[in-house]
Amino acid sequence: MALLSKKDAALLTDPLTDNNPITVQVLGICSALAITAELKASIVMAISVMAVLGVGNVVISLLRNIIPSKIRIIVQLVIVAALVIIVDLILKAFSYELSKTLSVFVGLIITNCIIMGRFEAFALGNGPWKSFLDGLGNSAGYGIILIIVGFFRELLGSGTLLGFKVLGDPIEKTGLYAFGYENNGFMLLSPMALIVVGIIIWVQRSKNKTLIEEN
Amino acid sequence: MSLKQNLHNLKEKYKGTKMAPAFNAIHTFLYMPNDVTRGGTHIKAADDLKRTMNIVIMAMVPCLLFGMFNAGYQHYAAIDASLRDNVLVNFFTFDNFWIGIIKVLPLVIVSYGVGLGVEFIFAIIKGHEVEEGYLVTGMLVPLIVPIDTPLWMLAVAVVFGVVIGKEVFGGTGMNILNPALTIRAFLFFAYPTWMSGDKVWVYDAVNRAVTADAISGETILGSYAQNQEVIYSNFDKFMGFIPGSVGETSTLLILLGAAFLVFTKIGSWRIIVATFLGAAVMGLIFNQVVTANIITDSSKFYGLMSTAWYEHLMIGGLAFGAVFMATDPVTASQTNTGKWIYGFLIGFISIMIRVFNPAYPEGVFLAILLMNVFAPTIDHYVVQGNVKRRLNRAKLKTV
């Protein structure tokens, strides 16, 4: 027997491609623009969101029948805020430099539309196991885009990947730099992240025409 | 068989295939097509898109030629400053022009080659006709970059500008931003060391800086921004015997181009006049601030603020931007009132950016890009205002 039923597997894999939170639902753009200048920050952000959304979805799902619907938003906020503070403190304890790079954006996971969106749209109406899979799937879909954007921005903007000088040394003029190559400073600015996300959306829609909206 | 016949045959041969747009484009670029419209309305107009574009290019040719001479002149004058004593004799020499040929022509070739390449590829993939939008952009781009810009950077920027600035919006006529300025902005933000400072405006200045005879090739705007004295006279500034981007130094030739564009009714005189007006007003305001002793000469803004307003019109890319960039019919305002507002704000904001942000002394391209974005909004309010006024009038009549 398969580990996951077909329906459950779809919960995990759909958000990776045809129902991607960033490229299809266009949620969580702020953080995708702000912290993707380095691949490492993108990866940590992806993992943080995965932890918050995975656990948060389960908690909300367990409490779904006792949360009064009138105050559900505030309950969701309390839960997500508590989880984000935990993630933030863990980052500060084990990787202080990185948490400084991410600065307020870890705290701003609270306002990440993807998280509130999944709480509202999924966890309030489904059991814990399904909610957990849905949380993992959506945060993975978000993370994949973050990592792709971070990969290109760090490679073209700084000539490095995870801090390693993969294109050579720009000061000693080794590798590609010996031929007059230069880093593209525009890649490190936020507008370029928007353009890279736009190009990903473009490529995705040209592969899958059903995603193109009618207008 | 004539070239025309050959091209026509090629076009017929590839009809209905994927490559058809490419051959159609070459055919109609050089000759009028053989086929005639049958039935229905016959509209005969000589000024189709290609002719319009060609007229703009013709208006820019004097700037390009001047830029080629200037490239060499600035180079030799940086080595031997005594050349500047007799500009008119030392300017139009073959040595100067030769530097222009080896430095400027590659920029033109790369700009056109890459840009038209992207246009052709898009036309073939999307199966529409090749649009002529790049003809003018391709000529503008080499004129607004520093002479020492590496060719591969230019190529990358052109691909970016044409794809992100134009094709994603649907191609020629649909773009929000001026593609040439998108290319310039990309270069500016991506490779700032090649686009500003005192090493890039004169051919070979980077190498000379290492040796003892290092003479600053700073532009006038750059010097003013650092509160330095400028060695160029107002005559030099107006004629364009100054360092700067390839083709934008000569205000005289730009005005000549402007006259040609206005005479042929290609460029909007409203936008050109309004831009200069806006720049002059902002310059006057800053001059008044200086005369009123609101800021002193210790202020970092003093250099550019105390620059006379008419000097602001002659230095930097303001004139070039006003005549060739702001008047782009696609990205500018469409209504006549809108054109006045649009142009005025471009001039106004250009000088403001110049003075307040010494890191961006060349504020013109940012101002034009900004107003490109606002042009539809301006038009909207102008049209709505008109509708409202006329409705009111109608109501008064009926009451």
A21-68: pLDDT as tens digits: 888 888 878 878 888 888 888 888 888 889 999 999 999 999 988 888
Q: Average pLDDT, whole number, for chain A? A: 85
pLDDT digits (tens, 9 = 90+) for B370-392: 999 999 999 999 999 999 999 99
Nearest CA in chain B to A157: B190
Whole-angstrom distance, CA of residue B396 vs CA of residue B12? 62
Nearest CA in chain A to B189: A186
* Buried/exposed B310-323: b ≥16 CB within 10 Å, e otherwise: ebbbbbbbbbbbbb
Residues of B in contact with A189 (CB under 8 A): 189
Reported ipTM: the value is: 0.83
pLDDT at site A1: 46
Task: List A161's β-bridge partners, or say none.
Answer: A164
pLDDT at site B46: 65
User: In Å, how far is B74's CA from the nearest CA of chain A?
Assistant: 24
Whole-angstrom distance, CA of residue B71 vs CA of residue B55? 25
Residues of A in contact with B190 (CB under 8 A): 184-187
Residues of B in contact with A202 (CB under 8 A): 168
Nearest CA to B55 out of B267, B200, B356, B199 is that of: B267
Q: Is A189 on the interface with B (CB under 8 A)?
A: yes
pLDDT (mean) for B72-96: 79
Verify whether the Cβ–Cβ distance A185 to B190 is below 8 Å. Answer: yes
Taking only residues 78 to 97 of chain A, the set having a beta carbon closer than 8 angstroms to any beta carbon of chain B reads none
Verify whether the Cβ–Cβ distance B168 to A202 is below 8 Å. Answer: yes
pLDDT digits (tens, 9 = 90+) for A129-168: 889 988 889 889 889 999 999 999 998 888 888 878 887 7
- How far apart are the two ends of chain A, measured CA to CA in Å? 44
Q: Report residue B349 as tokens.
A: 């904001």
Check the CA dihedral B146-B152-B154-B157 and report its sign. Answer: negative
User: In Å, how far is B153's CA from the nearest CA of chain A?
Assistant: 9
Distance of CA B251 to the CA centre of its chain: 13
- Binned at pLDDT 50, 70 and 90, residue B109 comes out as very high
Nearest CA to B371 out of B334, B343, B396, B351 is that of: B343
Whole-angstrom distance, CA of residue A30 vs CA of residue A111? 10
Q: DSSP per residue over A14-63, as a string?
A: GGGTTT-TTTTT--SHHHHHHSTTSHHHHHHHHHHHHHHHHHHHHHHHHH
Q: Report residue A71 as tokens.
A: 């105050």
Q: Is B308 on the interface with A (CB under 8 A)?
A: no
User: In Å, how far is B361's CA from the nearest CA of chain A?
Assistant: 18
Whole-angstrom distance, CA of residue A119 vs CA of residue A78? 12
Nearest CA in chain B to A158: B190
Q: Is B122 on the interface with A (CB under 8 A)?
A: no
pLDDT at site B210: 54
Q: DSSP per residue over B38-99, as a string?
A: -SS-----S--HHHHHHHHHHHHHHHHHHHHHHHHHHHHHHH-GGGGGGHHHHHS-HHHHHH
Verify whether the Cβ–Cβ distance A180 to B152 is below 8 Å. Answer: yes
Of the residues A183, A186, A215, the best mutation for testing chain B's interface (the one with the most B CB atoms within 10 Å of its CB) is: A186
Nearest CA in chain A to B152: A181
Whole-angstrom distance, CA of residue B107 vs CA of residue B100? 10
Residues of A in contact with B186 (CB under 8 A): 186
Distance of CA A66 to the CA centre of its chain: 30
Q: Is B186 on the interface with A (CB under 8 A)?
A: yes
Nearest CA in chain B to A190: B189
pLDDT digits (tens, 9 = 90+) for B112-126: 999 989 988 888 887
| Residue B261 near residue B323 (C-beta atoms within 8 A) | yes
Nearest CA in chain A to B160: A195
Cα A191-A192-A196 angle, rounded to 5 deg: 125
Choose the closest CB to A189 out of B156, B189, B191. Answer: B189
Least confident of A31-45, B211-225, B242-256: B211-225
Q: Give A136's DSSP letter.
A: H
pLDDT (mean) for B362-369: 88
Whole-angstrom distance, CA of residue A67 vs CA of residue B189? 50
Check the CA dihedral B65-B68-B70-B76 and report its sign. Answer: negative
pLDDT (mean) for A106-122: 84
Residues of B in contact with A187 (CB under 8 A): 190
Q: DSSP per residue over B141-194, as a string?
A: HHHTS-TT--HHHHHHHHHHHHHHHTGGGTSTTT-SS-HHHHHHHHHHHH-HHH
pLDDT at site B45: 67
Matching residue, tokens 């550019």: B304
Size of interface A-B (CB pairs under 8 A): 23
Q: Please check the confidence at residue A78 and state whether its pLDDT lies above 60.
A: yes
Matching residue, tokens 């390693």: A164
Whole-angstrom distance, CA of residue B147 vs CA of residue B359? 20
Tally Cβ neighbours within 10 Å of residue A162. 12
Q: Give A65's DSSP letter.
A: T
Whole-angstrom distance, CA of residue B304 vs CA of residue B295? 12
Report percent pLDDT > 70 for chain B. Answer: 90
Q: Report residue A20 as tokens.
A: 């991607």
Q: Is B360 on the interface with A (CB under 8 A)?
A: no
Q: Please check the confidence at residue B25 and state whether its pLDDT lies above 80.
A: no
User: In Å, how far is B200's CA from the nearest CA of chain A?
Assistant: 15
Check the CA dihedral B252-B54-B369-B74 and report its sign. Answer: negative
Whole-angstrom distance, CA of residue B120 vs CA of residue B21? 8
Choose the closest CB to B189 out of A180, A182, A185. Answer: A185
Whole-angstrom distance, CA of residue A5 vs CA of residue A12? 11
Choose the closest CB to B190 out of A181, A184, A202. Answer: A184
Residues of A in contact with B189 (CB under 8 A): 185-186, 189
Q: Is B124 left (phi over 0), alpha (psi -120 to 50) or beta?
A: alpha
- Binned at pLDDT 50, 70 and 90, residue B231 comes out as confident
| Dihedral over alpha carbons B242, B244, B246, B247 (to 10 degrees) | -70
Tally Cβ neighbours within 10 Å of residue A71. 9
Whole-angstrom distance, CA of residue A201 vs CA of residue A148? 12
Nearest CA in chain A to B164: A195
Q: Report residue B384 as tokens.
A: 């709505």
User: B364-398 and B336-356 helices cross at what angle (nearest 10)?
Assistant: 150
pTM: 0.85
Taking only residues 169 to 188 of chain A, the set having a beta carbon closer than 8 angstroms to any beta carbon of chain B reads 180-182, 184-187
Three-state SS across A69-120?
HHHHHHHHHHHHHHHHHHHHHHHHHHCHHHHHHHCHHHHHHHHCHHHHHHHH
- Binned at pLDDT 50, 70 and 90, residue B194 comes out as confident
pLDDT at site A82: 92
Verify whether the Cβ–Cβ distance B191 to A185 is below 8 Å. Answer: yes
Q: Please check the confidence at residue B278 and state whether its pLDDT lies above 90.
A: yes
User: In Å, how far is B49's CA from the nearest CA of chain A?
Assistant: 29
Residues of A in contact with B191 (CB under 8 A): 182, 184-185
Q: DSSP per residue over A162-210, as a string?
A: TTB-TT--TTTT-GGGGGT----GGGGSHHHHHHHHHHHHHHHHHH-GG
Q: Please check the confidence at residue A104 and state whether its pLDDT lies above 60.
A: yes
- How far apart are the two ends of chain B, measured CA to CA in Å? 74
Q: DSSP per residue over B15-34, as a string?
A: TTSTTHHHHHHHHHHHS--S
Of the residues B160, B168, B189, the best mutation for testing chain A's interface (the one with the most A CB atoms within 10 Å of its CB) is: B189
Nearest CA in chain B to A196: B164
Residues of A in contact with B156 (CB under 8 A): 184
Whole-angstrom distance, CA of residue B307 vs CA of residue B55? 35
| Residue B333 near residue B339 (C-beta atoms within 8 A) | yes
| Residue B34 near residue B140 (C-beta atoms within 8 A) | no
